[in-house]
């Protein structure tokens, strides 16, 4: 493999780095400058920040259920892409394995649904 095959990849990396640096550098100049108390407060997962005890506070179970739901479907997508690409080569064995995998994912989805992880109040 010659070095000229790497030129487009290196060029794209340089272009991406320049875009990132430009975006970060220009944001303070052209961005809005109206600050207020609400914009400066921390915000995470829709939970209002509150003073925590020294030993830490209890995190709602919904936080963990949402994280578990994300992980379940993230892992499912990671396994579905290679399976879809090599579907013809795997044959019946690949189809049966994927049906079993999707059934296992469905069990996890049903668990989260039953525990109220999909109810956004």
| Residue 44, helix vs strand vs coil | strand
> Which pLDDT belongs to residue 18?
98
* CATH tag for 58-121 (out of 3.40.50.1100, 2.40.280.10, 1.20.58.1610, 3.90.10.10): 1.20.58.1610
Per-residue model confidence (pLDDT) at position 34: 79
Helix (H) or strand (E) holding 22: helix 7-30
Q: Which helix (H) or strand (E) holds 39?
A: helix 37-40
- The domains of the chain are located at 58-121
The pLDDT value given to residue 23: 95
pLDDT by position in tens, the chain (length 121): 688 889 999 999 999 999 999 999 999 899 877 777 777 776 666 666 666 655 566 777 777 777 878 887 888 888 888 888 888 888 898 889 889 988 988 888 888 788 777 777 6
- The reported pLDDT for the residue numbered 61 is 72
Residue 54: what pLDDT?
A: 57
Task: Please count the residues of the chain.
Answer: 121
* Contact status, residue 112 vs residue 65, Cβ threshold 8 Å: yes
Which pLDDT belongs to residue 26? Answer: 95
Query: Which residue is listed with tokens 């069990």?
Result: 107
Token code pair at residue 18: 């320049």
Q: Which long-range contacts (CB under 8 A, 24 or more apart) does 94-100 make?
A: none
Spatial separation of the C-alpha atoms in residues 112 and 60, rounded to whole Å: 14
């Amino acid at each position: 493999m010659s070095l000229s095959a790497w030129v487009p990849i290196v060029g794209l990396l340089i272009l991406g780095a320049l875009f990132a640096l430009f975006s970060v550098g220009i944001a303070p100049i052209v961005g809005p400058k109206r600050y207020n108390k609400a914009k400066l407060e921390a915000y995470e997962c829709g939970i209002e920040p509150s003073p925590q005890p020294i030993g830490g506070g209890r995190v709602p179970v919904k936080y963990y259920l949402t994280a578990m739901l994300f992980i379940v479907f993230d892992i499912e997508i990671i396994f579905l892409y290679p399976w879809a690409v090599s579907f013809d080569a795997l044959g019946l064995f690949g189809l049966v394995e994927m049906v079993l995998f999707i059934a296992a994912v469905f069990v996890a989805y049903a668990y989260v649904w039953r525990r109220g992880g999909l109810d956004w109040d």
